[in-house]
Chain A
Amino acid sequence: MKILIVDDFSTMRRIIKNLLRDLGFTNTVEADDGTTALPILQTGTIDFLVTDWNMPGMTGIELLRAVRADDKLKTIPVLMVTAEAKRDQIITAAQAGVNGYVVKPFTAVALKEKIEKIFERIDSAK
């Protein structure tokens, strides 16, 4: 299980990386916005995407849409971890095909719960 963490703040990437490691996901890579994340995704080695919304260059919502529009990438589960908490935005993200939405500041428990829920859904869909 290789996870790509996309956030423009290295501190936040580090926090997410450490929390994922505690959950047993030790294989992670990082990118600082959608533009740098896409080429990594296109290598076909990423199994799970955790992304922020608000980033310079390509934003998280644009990255999500790009992933869903790409035949090779569209099944990758996407978890948004973001400070964006407007009702419309969450609806937009849901419509764009997000698998989970965690608002910052978040707890380790919330992150764990969402990730587990996503995997449960994937397993039950198989």
Chain B
Amino acid sequence: MSDFKESKLGDFESTVKDGAVDLLNKLEAGDFSGAIKIIQELSEARHKSFYYEVGTLTRSLHDAIKDFQIESIDDVIEVTTDEDNNSRITDASDRLTYVIEMTSSAANKTMDMVDSSVPVASELQTQAEALHKDWNRLIQRDLTPQEFRELYKRIDAFLGYTKNSANTLHGNLNTILLEQGYQDLTGQVIARVNELIRDVEEKLVHLVAVAGRVDSISGFEHEITEKERDENRGHGPAVNTENNPEVLNSQDEVDDLLSSLGF
């Protein structure tokens, strides 16, 4: 279909070329009324091609809007409860919000588990160190009978505490493990949003191509203003760093750069 459209524009171009030759011939032959007729024909051909291309652009735009179910402004303002009414763009945005929530919740739960495990591990370490010291004294037969009786009780208490602590740590580790399930869920969501972005890009490229044909017939020229980047804003985490010499790949490279600057 797009070949057909391009051939339409090609037709117009060859009409203009042929017309120009005819026009020159007629003018040289002194046939002014014939020349004016050619000019009129050319103008008509331009109009026809123009309307044709505008029509194509409108249809493509309409298809794209329909495809992504982008609502009109009125629909956007109106709160829709029916999920099927959501556009794919709104849906993608909701999905990404879900990813943020999900990753944040998993990170926080994991850190909660770490926070509750650290004191348990510290207490085990403290108690084990104290016991180990007295245990060594026992081996060296350096304990009084009274101290031995106390050690006897302390070891019993420590074993009980160790058992409970191991259970707590085991439970915490399991929770941390399960929390990593976010990767699967968010991965799936991101894969779908990625698909949508590629889809949108493809459609946009098509629209730009069609709009370009309208511009070429109408003679419109667009001023392309490049959006200035605010360097203060930063770029976010760098991806594909290996192919970009401007991005440093590791802390070591950062340190090297800083030390070359006298840091």
Contacts and interface: CB of A to CB of B under 8 A. Distances in A.
Interface of A: 9-11, 14-15, 18, 53-54, 59-62, 82-92, 94, 101-104, 106, 110
B246 interface: yes
Nearest to B257: A90
A38 to B, nearest CB: 15
B235 A86 contact: yes
A60 B232 CA distance: 8
Interface in B212-263: 231-238, 241, 246-251, 254, 257-258, 261, 263
Interface residues of B, number: 26
A11 B111 contact: yes
Interface of B: 104, 107-108, 111, 114-115, 231-238, 241, 246-251, 254, 257-258, 261, 263
Nearest to A105: B237
Contacts of A62: 232
Given A14-B108, A15-B111, A87-B257, A104 B246 contact: no
B226 to A, nearest CB: 18
A85 B104 contact: no
A59 B257 CA distance: 22
A18 B257 CA distance: 28
Contacts of A103: 248, 250-251, 254
Contacts of B234: 53-54, 59-61, 82, 84, 89
A89 to B, nearest CB: 7
A10 B112 CA distance: 13
A90 B231 contact: no
A73 to B, nearest CB: 19
Nearest to B245: A87
Contacts of A53: 234
Contact of A91 (B114, B233, B249, B261): B261
The 3 closest A-B pairs by CB, nearest first: A54-B234, A83-B237, A11-B107
Contact of B261 (A9, A15, A86, A94): A94
B263 A59 contact: no
Given A90-B258, A94-B263, A59 B232 contact: yes
Contacts of A59: 232-234
A85 B231 contact: no
Given A14-B107, A86-B238, A88-B231, 14 more contacts: A9-B104, A11-B111, A59-B234, A82-B234, A84-B235, A85-B248, A86-B235, A86-B248, A89-B231, A89-B235, A90-B248, A94-B258, A94-B261, A102-B251
A107 B1 CA distance: 55
Contacts of A87: 246-248, 257
B108 A101 contact: no
Nearest to A52: B234
27 contacts: A9-B104, A10-B108, A11-B104, A11-B108, A54-B233, A61-B234, A84-B234, A84-B235, A85-B238, A85-B249, A85-B254, A86-B238, A86-B248, A87-B246, A87-B247, A87-B248, A89-B231, A90-B248, A92-B231, A101-B254, A102-B251, A102-B254, A103-B248, A103-B250, A103-B254, A104-B237, A106-B251
